[in-house]
Structure 1
Amino acid sequence: MTDKTTQAHAAESNMEKDPKDWVTGDEPMTGAQRSYLKTLSEEAKEDFDETLTKAEASRRIDELQAKTGRGTAQVE
């Protein structure tokens, strides 16, 4: 449960950091990132680079989501 003070300051939160600011951003991408990135790469008909770091994979996922339309909110 979230209190009103927490909700009021949500926009100031660091819950979503830029990948370049991640402390562990230079570590190898996670298994979940690898799996999702491979799927997105196939759908976008682009090469999959398995050597990306966590931060690079996050940025690449964002790029491929924009290209494929995956991960975007569907408003009905």
Structure 2
Amino acid sequence: MSDSDTTNGAGDDVLGARGEDDTNPASKDPSEWVTGDEPMTASQRSYLDTLAREAGEELPADLTKAQASEHIDRLQQKTGRGQS
């Protein structure tokens, strides 16, 4: 891991930064993702399963990456997991 991966100095790339970042593809609206219509990832599926159970909801198992991301955002708010 390089220093830029672990420091918070100006100009360094870090994960978990706050706010919008137009240079980071992950900051885009899920509807604009190039791979948004691909099936959700195994990680998304696992996390959605946890969130949906906590929220008392059922979701279809054939969601796209973009749909899964939108449900994750919504369910994090509903369950309080999205709070910092």
TM range (shorter): 0.7 to 0.9
User: TM-score, normalized by length of structure 1?
Assistant: 0.80
Structure 2 unmatched runs, 5+: 14-18
Runs of 4+ more than 3 Å apart: 2-7
Quote the offset at 1:30 in angstroms. Answer: 0.2
Where do residues 1-76 of structure 1 align in structure 2 (5 Å cutoff)?
A: 1=4, 4-5=10-11, 13-15=22-24, 16-73=27-84
Decide whether aligned partners of structure 1 residues 22 and 5 sit closer, same or farther in structure 2, where only a CA change above 3 A counts.
same
Larger RCO: Structure 1 or Structure 2 (Cα < 8 Å, ≥ 6 residues apart)? 1
What is the percent sequence identity of the aligned residues? Answer: 52
Over 3 Å counting, the alpha-carbon distance change for 1:11 and 1:55 in structure 2 is closer
Name whichever structure is richer in helix by fraction: 1
Q: Which runs of 5+ in 1 are unaligned?
A: none
Alpha-carbon RMSD across the aligned residues, in angstroms, is 2.2
Using the size of structure 2 for normalisation, the TM-score is 0.73
1:5-28 superposed Cα distances (whole Å, 9 cap, x missing partner): 568xx8553321110110000000
